[in-house]
C-alpha cells in the first residue's frame, strides 16, 4: 500500500485551529504582522524563526497571555477575536514551556492534579485515588515515573515529560511545545520524540517550536517560518531541507554548520588532574591549550556541567588538582575563580547568570565593579556598556532596560559582554547556544573565535553534536562520570561521536 501524501493525510484530519491576519504590536515594534497559520488533528506543525521573529508572541496569544490587535482565531470551529487564559485551557490548548512550570516540593501525582484535586470525605484530598489515576494515565502512554516521587528529584527529561502528562490530564487537544528538548541529552530527546509521536497517533495536534532544526525532520509534518513578525513560508517537511529553511529564516545563503579556523597553540594554560566529586564524576584529567576550544560531549547526566561547576568554584571538589599557567589554584568559590582568571557562562542563564529585574548596564558591569573598587565610575561604566552593546549587536531599547525583557539570545550576549570586561584567561561556556536562534548562534560563535584568537581558551559543554564538531579543536567525551576518551573534532564523524557518548562500538573501532 503506497504511503499517503501530506495533502491526503490532511484531508483525513479535522482542521482544529486556524489563524487569520493575526497582528500584534508593542509600542513601535511589530511583533506579528498579519500572520496566517493552521493546524490539523494528529499533526506536528513546527514553528521556527530567529529570536524576535514572533514565535513567542504567537503562542502567548493562543494561550491567552497576550491580546492581539487584530485578526481572528478559529478553534474547533468556533471563532474568537481573542482568547482568555481560562478559555484557552477549556478549549484544550496547553502550552509546555522550556522553563519547567512545576511545584518542585510536591509529588508527581500532586502536580498532575494541582488545581483539580480529587476530594473525598470531609473535602480532604484523596491521595490514594490521585496516585492510582496518575499511574494509569502515565501507563496509557508508556511513561514510567514514580507517582510519589518529589518533582525536585526528577531529571530534566522526566520533568518535561511530566508537563506533557499534566496537559493530557486536562484533556488537551492542542499542545504547544516551546523548546522541549533544550535541556535534554541525546537519549532523553529521542524518548521525547517517541512520546510526541504517540500523542499525535491519538489525534492530539502539536505546535512544536525548536531552535535545533534537525528535530523538525525527526518529528514534524509541516514547518512554518517566521521572520520579523511576518510569515515567510509554510513547507511540507518531506519536501524541504535544512538549507531551504535556514535561507527562509535568515534571508540569505549560509552554510548550516559554522566554520572556524584553528587558533590553538601547544602552550598548556589549564591542567586538571584526578578531579573527583562524590557520585558525580571521578578522576577526571585533561589539559587545555592556549587558544583552544575544548568541547565536552556526552549524554545528559554524564557529569560535564558538574565538572565545570567545580572548576569554577560553584561546587566543592572531593579531591584532585587544578593548575592555571603552571600554578596550583584552589577556586573554592566563584569569586575566587574570577580573581584567579576564570569566567563562566552557566547552562541556566536565567537562574544562575542574570539579575532579571536589573538593567542591561548593571548585568554587564557587575564583574568589573566587583573587581575594581567600591567607588563606581558611572560615566566609565556606561561608556563601556554602550560600546559592548553596539559591538555585540545586543537588541535592547537601551542599557537601562531590565535584562529579563530581552530575548534569550540577547540575554546570552549580555552575559558574554560581562566577561569581556574581566581579565579572564579561561572561559567556561556551558551550553552557550541553548535556546538561541541561528542568527544569535552565529554571533556567539564569532565572539568565541575572537576570544581564542586573542589567546584566551574556552571549555565548552554542548549537547549539540554539530556544534561540538564545528567549534571544538578537541572533544573530551564523558560517560557515567568518567572522561572516557578525547577525540580530534576534525577526525570524527557525528555517528562515531554518538557511539562514544553511548559506549557503542562501530565497525572498525
Domains of the chain: 258-341+424-509 (3.40.50.300), 354-423 (no CATH)
Report the phi/psi class of residue 487: left, alpha or beta, with left for phi > 0 and alpha for psi in -120 to 50: beta
Q: What is the pLDDT of residue 396?
A: 78
Q: What is the pLDDT of residue 507?
A: 44
> What letter would DSSP give residue 350?
I
Q: What is the pLDDT of residue 381?
A: 72
Q: Which residues pair with 23 in a beta bridge?
A: 70
CA distance linking residue 462 with residue 445, whole number of Å: 13
Q: What is the pLDDT of residue 94?
A: 93
Q: Which residues of 88-98 are buried (b: 16+ CB within 10 A; e: fewer)?
A: bbebbbbbbbb
Mean per-residue pLDDT, 274-283:
93
* Other beta carbons less than 10 A from residue 459's beta carbon: 26
Residue 299 has pLDDT above 80, yes or no: no
Q: How confident is the model at residue 374 (pLDDT cuts 50, 70, 90)?
A: very low
CA distance linking residue 160 with residue 3, whole number of Å: 32
3-state helix, strand, coil in the chain (%, to 5): 40, 25, 35
Residue 1 has pLDDT above 60, yes or no: no
Question: At 116, phi and psi to the nearest 5?
Answer: -135, 40
Q: What is the pLDDT of residues 317-349, one digit of tens each?
A: 999 999 999 999 999 999 899 889 999 988 776
Q: Which residues pair with 401 in a beta bridge?
A: none
Rg of the chain over all Cα atoms, to the nearest angstrom: 24
Contact 361, 396 (CB under 8 A): no
Residue 400 has pLDDT above 70, yes or no: yes
Q: How confident is the model at residue 375 (pLDDT cuts 50, 70, 90)?
A: very low
For 262, the grid coordinates are 584553528
Residue 430 has pLDDT above 80, yes or no: yes
Q: What is the pLDDT of residues 448-461, one digit of tens each?
A: 898 899 899 999 99
% the chain with pLDDT above 70: 91
Residue 167 has pLDDT above 80, yes or no: yes
Report the phi/psi class of residue 49: left, alpha or beta, with left for phi > 0 and alpha for psi in -120 to 50: left
More confident residue, 300 or 57: 57
Q: What is the pLDDT of residue 252?
A: 53
Q: What is the pLDDT of residues 436-490, one digit of tens each?
A: 777 778 888 988 898 899 899 999 999 888 889 999 999 999 998 999 999 999 9
How far apart, in Å, are the Cα atoms of 15 and each of 42, 77, 336?
10, 8, 58
Q: What is the pLDDT of residues 185-215, one digit of tens each?
A: 777 788 888 989 999 999 999 999 987 788 8
Q: How confident is the model at residue 508 (pLDDT cuts 50, 70, 90)?
A: very low
More confident residue, 421 or 159: 159
Q: What is the pLDDT of residues 117-163, one digit of tens each?
A: 999 888 899 999 999 999 999 888 888 899 999 999 988 888 888 99
Q: What is the pLDDT of residue 248?
A: 84
Q: What is the pLDDT of residue 266?
A: 87
Q: How confident is the model at residue 254 (pLDDT cuts 50, 70, 90)?
A: very low
Q: How confident is the model at residue 51 (pLDDT cuts 50, 70, 90)?
A: low
Residues 6+ apart with CB under 8 A from 252: none
**Closest of 472, 473, 412 to residue 444, by C-alpha:** 412
Cα–Cα–Cα angle for 247, 251, 253, rounded to 5 degrees: 50
Amino acid at each position: 500500500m503506497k504511503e499517503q501524501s501530506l495533502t491526503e493525510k490532511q484531508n483525513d484530519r479535522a482542521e482544529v485551529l486556524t489563524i487569520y491576519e493575526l497582528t500584534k504590536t508593542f509600542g513601535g515594534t511589530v511583533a506579528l504582522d498579519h500572520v496566517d497559520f493552521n493546524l490539523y488533528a494528529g499533526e506536528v506543525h513546527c514553528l521556527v524563526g530567529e529570536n524576535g521573529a514572533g514565535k513567542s508572541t504567537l503562542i502567548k496569544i493562543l494561550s491567552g497571555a497576550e491580546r492581539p490587535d487584530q485578526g481572528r482565531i478559529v478553534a474547533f470551529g468556533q471563532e474568537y477575536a481573542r482568547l482568555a487564559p481560562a478559555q484557552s485551557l477549556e478549549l484544550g490548548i496547553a502550552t509546555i514551556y522550556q522553563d519547567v512550570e512545576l511545584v518542585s516540593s510536591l509529588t508527581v501525582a500532586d502536580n498532575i492534579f494541582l488545581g483539580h484535586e480529587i476530594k473525598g470525605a470531609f473535602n480532604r484530598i484523596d491521595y490514594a485515588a490521585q496516585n492510582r489515576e496518575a499511574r494509569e494515565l502515565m501507563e496509557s502512554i508508556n511513561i514510567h515515573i514514580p507517582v510519589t516521587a518529589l518533582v525536585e528529584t526528577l531529571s530534566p527529561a522526566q520533568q518535561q515529560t511530566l508537563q506533557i502528562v499534566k496537559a493530557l490530564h486536562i484533556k488537551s487537544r492542542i499542545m504547544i511545545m516551546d523548546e522541549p528538548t533544550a535541556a535534554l541529552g541525546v537519549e532523553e530527546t529521542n524518548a521525547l520524540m517517541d512520546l510526541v509521536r504517540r500523542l499525535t497517533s491519538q489525534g492530539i495536534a502539536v505546535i512544536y517550536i525548536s531552535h535545533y532544526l534537525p528535530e523538525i525532520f525527526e518529528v514534524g509534518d509541516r514547518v512554518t517560518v517566521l521572520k520579523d513578525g511576518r510569515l515567510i513560508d509554510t513547507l511540507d517537511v518531506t519536501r524541504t531541507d535544512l538549507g531551504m529553511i535556514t535561507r527562509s529564516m535568515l534571508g540569505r545563503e549560509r552554510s548550516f554548520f559554522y566554520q572556524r579556523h584553528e587558533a590553538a597553540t601547544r602552550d598548556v594554560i589549564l591542567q586538571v588532574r584526578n578531579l573527583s566529586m562524590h557520585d558525580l564524576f571521578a578522576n577526571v584529567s585533561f589539559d587545555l591549550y592556549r587558544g583552544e576550544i575544548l568541547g565536552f560531549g556526552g549524554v545528559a547526566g554524564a557529569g560535564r556541567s558538574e565538572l565545570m561547576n567545580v572548576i569554577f568554584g560553584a561546587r566543592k571538589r572531593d579531591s584532585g588538582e587544578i593548575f592555571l599557567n603552571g600554578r596550583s589554584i584552589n577556586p573554592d568559590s566563584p569569586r575566587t575563580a574570577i580573581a584567579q582568571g576564570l569566567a563562566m557562562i552557566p547552562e541556566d542563564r536565567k537562574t544562575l547568570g542574570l539579575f532579571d529585574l536589573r538593567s542591561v548596564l548593571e548585568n554587564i558591569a557587575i564583574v568589573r565593579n566587583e573587581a575594581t573598587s567600591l567607588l563606581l565610575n558611572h560615566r566609565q561604566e556606561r561608556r563601556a556598556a554602550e560600546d559592548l552593546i553596539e559591538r555585540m549587536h545586543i537588541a535592547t531599547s537601551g542599557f537601562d532596560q531590565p535584562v529579563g525583557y530581552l530575548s534569550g539570545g540577547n540575554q546570552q550576549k549580555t552575559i558574554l559582554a560581562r566577561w569581556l570586561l574581566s581579565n579572564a584567561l579561561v572561559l567556561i561556556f556551558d551550553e552557550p547556544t541553548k535556546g538561541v536562534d541561528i542568527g544569535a548562534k552565529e554571533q556567539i560563535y564569532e565572539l568565541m573565535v575572537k576570544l581564542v584568537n586573542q589567546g584566551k581558551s574556552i571549555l565548552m559543554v554542548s549537547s549539540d553534536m554539530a556544534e561540538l564538531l564545528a567549534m571544538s579543536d578537541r572533544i573530551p567525551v564523558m560517560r557515567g562520570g568518567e572522561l572516557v576518551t578525547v577525540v580530534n573534532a576534525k577526525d570524527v564523524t557525528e555517528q562515531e561521536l554518538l557511539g562514544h557518548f553511548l559506549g557503542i562500538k562501530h565497525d572498525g573501532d
